[in-house]
Every structure is written in structure tokens, then in C-alpha cells.
Structure 1
Amino acid sequence: MENKLDVFRRELVDVQGVPLFWSIAEKWAQVQSFEAWPDDLLISTYPKSGTTWISEILDLIYNNGDAEKCHRDAIYKRVPFMELIIPGFSNGLEQLKNMPSPRLVKTHLPVQLLPSSFWKYDCKMIYVARNAKDVAVSYYYFHQMAKMHPEPGTWEEFLDKFMAGKVSFGSWYDHVKGWWEKRKDYRILYLFYEDMKEDLRSEIQKLLKFLEKDMPEETVNKILYHSSFNVMKQNPNANYTTLTKEEMDHSVSPFMRKGISGDWKNQFTVAQYERFEEDYEEKMKNSSLKFRSEI
């Protein structure tokens, strides 16, 4: 048995041109052959784009706003991270095998790496996208505390890696654009983190319509309350404090750090901003996808 700590801080491994954790790459055949069920709901995001937030909202919707039911376990057990395999710590594929239907399934995979069974069964999917600059900042702090990632280096070094797509799950640009295009052909509800921050009630209404569910206003109000940043930050079943310090060290940076839009302004220098914007324009010029960098 390898030393448990040897599984962390290792270099990423390319899978079809996308950098992934070494342990996912090793078990890639198992990930690819994952068998979705027709009533699975897939939650897809690029990392640090509101994944835990949308997962908590959907678990609340699936449990009709009953917060007690949503306290049954940690979010990463209620909504398993399908492709995450860390020997001795986590195996999303095994977790999902043992879950009752209907399952909520989380992925960070870019659209071209998603197991084909999701397309075969035309599963409903919800994608949440967040503006690139806030994602880069959040991902930098996440790398510091979440040990399955390689060491991030300095902010300047990390920003270079992020812009080049040399971080786990690859290029943010390819990720958001790939899922945006795919929504034209499949049942994908594409949401924006900034819209959720601005008016969560109307985004929840979109979710309910997409899921063909009716809910009284009183239940929606409960969901709004229990999925608010401050309540989730205090909720051990949502804030990842139930993981070991080897996996995530909250003393370095909390998993739920700020949860705001526009925090990039506290991190980017003027020179970094200008370089980033120029690169962004080039990479996004042929896409109809538009983001707000603050609200």
C-alpha cells in the first residue's frame, strides 16, 4: 500500500490533451465506461464556478426544501464527484454504483471527455459557468489548500498556467465554450454564477422549469435560505470541513472563501489584467458566449 500522502501534490497527466489528476488518468478506462442512468441529473462545471452551491440547491430541490434531509451527509457524498479517484480517499464511480435513483452526479470534465452513456440516454444536465478572472483567483487559493493539485507556485506563475490551460481539467476557455455549443443538441441548462449571485430566485425558477417541478413559494424561500453563502459556509455538510487535513487544509484557505463576483480586482495587477484581457479576447472572439466580470 503506498503511503497515503504520496497520492497528493503530484504532477498532472494528460488524457486526450486535457491535464487531469494522475489517479484519474490511471483509471481512465473505468471513467470512460461509466454507465449513466436515464434519470441521472448531471451537474457540470469548470472547477471553482459554483459547483458546491448548485449541488446544494439541487439536493434541496430533490428533497423539497427539507434541510434536515440535506444534512444526511456531506455534499460530496450526496452528489458524488464521478471521475474523482484518489487511492485510499475517494472513488466517485464506486459511490455512484451504490446510490439510489434518481442520482445527482457531479463532473468537471470538459464536454469531449464525458462518458458517452450520458449522451446515449440524453440525460438532463446543468452547467454553471463563472467569469474567468474570478475562477483563476479562486482556483489559485483552492490549489493552496486542496492537496490533490500540484503546488500552485506564485500567483503570477499560476495565472500563466491557468491562461495556458495547464491546470487540472484543462482550459477554462475550451470548457465553457465546449459545453455552450453542446447545449444546442442536448438537454443542457446553461447557467451563470453571476446571474445566481444577482437574482438566485429567478435562477431557481429556471431550474424548476427545466426539471419540470412545481414548488410553492414557501419551499423556494427555504431553498434560498439554506443555499445562501453564509448558511452554507457554517454548514459542515456543505463546507468540506469534514475532509481530512491531508486532503484539504482549511487553515491555509477556507474551501468557501468569499463567494463573491469581482474579487479578481483584489488580486490582479494592472499589467496582469491587461495581459489577461488581450489573451481572453483572442480566445473568446469566435464565441457567442458573454460573461460579466462583476455585478
Structure 2
Amino acid sequence: MNVSSNRLYAKQYQYTYNNAYLTEEQRDFYEVNGFVVFRNLVDYALLDECKQRFIDICNDVVDKGAMTVMKDVSLKHKNVKGEYLINKIQDFTFDDVLFKYIAYKPMVDIIESIIGPNITACHTMLINKPPDSEQDASKHPLHQDLHYFPFRPANSIVASWTAMERVDEKNGCLFVIPGTHKWKLFKHDYPPNVKNKAYHGVFGFDEIPKVNLVMEKGDTVFFHPIILHGSGPNFTKGFRKAISSHYADSNCHFINVMGTTQENIAQEIEEMAVKKGLPSTIKYEDIWKYKSRLVRGAPGNFQKYESHL
């Protein structure tokens, strides 16, 4: 074995797996920074199909099923409808059209390189920033995605986030604090003036430099669930759409978040679930199991239920 091979063999990777889909440079970048961007990864035709599906859901052309459709709170009392009012749809795991994004092979191959071969899609969003929204409604405060998840380990969870059109500082691109995936999970709550449901954030990090992720249509960023990130408001007269899915190793173990910093979000999500018609006895972990879907490999803890609806 030559010297360079010895160096490669000696590397200790904590956040990625050995396989063919990440280069050494990409693995090193993710290990150090907690995110990595792939340019022009997702096919335009698929993104256009997903965009049309979103518009059809906004306009009640198709049945939303179990999806959650969220309205921009600052636009509710204005004479706007459809995609000019809806700022997010969630939980589209079982939608035949939008699932095509979740299961998109080039993307899932990269997911496998990060969390391993047994992959469950556990959280899905298509995020829309309409024009004319108030800044506090349009932005997403600095946060860590692990705050929402009652399963571990964190290194076995990863997000994909794909720009459906150019995103930059003018229309509310993502920003990240590189390297914070190595930090702890912090307490989250509603920042001042933020009224969008479940838009929790962290406090005390305003002075830390952030990196704006300017992306073109089809570009996709993959990031760790502890990395601090958020997005700015849309200052333009156009839209800013992105589609995202979180994936977890199907054998992640579930935890009881009561008595932890995650108790507030658990209670909030449970209340929302009951309002949608789920039993009042529903457990937070079961909500996540019911809306998850196996994408690749063998089933695991996500596919095991203590009770059934």
C-alpha cells in the first residue's frame, strides 16, 4: 500500500459511509462543515412536475390527503389565494407525484453515503416564500432540525434541500453556520414577532458569521440535523420555492422527549395532530412513524408501531 493510500485508510470518518457516491473531497467537506452542496443534481422536469403539484394542491385541484398545508400568517387577511397565500406543504410522503423527489435515485445514493443503506423518509416539505409577505413571516429563524425529531442518533439523520428556482439573498436563501453540527442541541422557542406555527429558533448566535447558500435550480444541499441554519425573507415580487426531505436510518431508536428541551415542540405537534383528527392519546414518536415511508433497504424501528390508528 502506498503512502497516499495509507493516509486515506487512516482517516476516521464520523459522519459519512464508505461507498461510491461521495468523493473524498466531498466527504471531507461534510465532515468538517456539516453540509455539502451538489450542483445541478435534480432534473428540471421533476422539479417542474413537483411545482405544478404544489400549485394544484394550493388551488384545491387535487386532494391534499394527509398533507399539512400552511398559510403565511401575514397574508391571511389580504385578498390573495393559492400559491400567493400558501407558504408550505408538509408530510407529502405518500403523494405519488411528490414522492418522486423523495425517491430520486441520484439523491438517495448520496443519502446512502451519509446515513447508510436502510433509509426512511421521515419529514418532507415544499417551502414557498410568496411575494409581499412581512419579513418576520417570510424568514425562518436560526434553528437546528434535531429539535423536531424524537429519534437518534443525530449522525444517522440527514436533510436534502433542493432549489426549485434560483435562490439568493434577495429572495430568502438558506444560511448556515459551518461546523455547528459538532455542537449540542440547544433550547428552541418562538423568537419575537415570529407567528408561523412551529417556526422555533435559538437565541444568542446573532453575531456569529453565517454563510449564505446561493443556489440555482436543481442544486441540492445535504446537511446534518444539528447544524445551525435558517433562511432570510423574500424581498422580491417573485416566489422562492424549495423542496426538502429528511431521511433517517430506518433503525434509529426513538426517545421520550418529555422533560427535555424538545418537550415544547412535542406538545405543539401533538395538539396539531389531534386537531387534524388523530386520537388524543397519540404519542409524539408514533406521529413520526405514521408519516414516514421506507425508501431503500430493510425496514426497521420506523416501521414498528406500538399502536394503530
What's the TM-score once normalised by structure 2's chain length? Answer: 0.30
Q: Which has the higher helix share?
A: 1
* Structure (1 or 2) with the greater strand fraction: 2
TM-score under structure 1 normalisation? 0.31
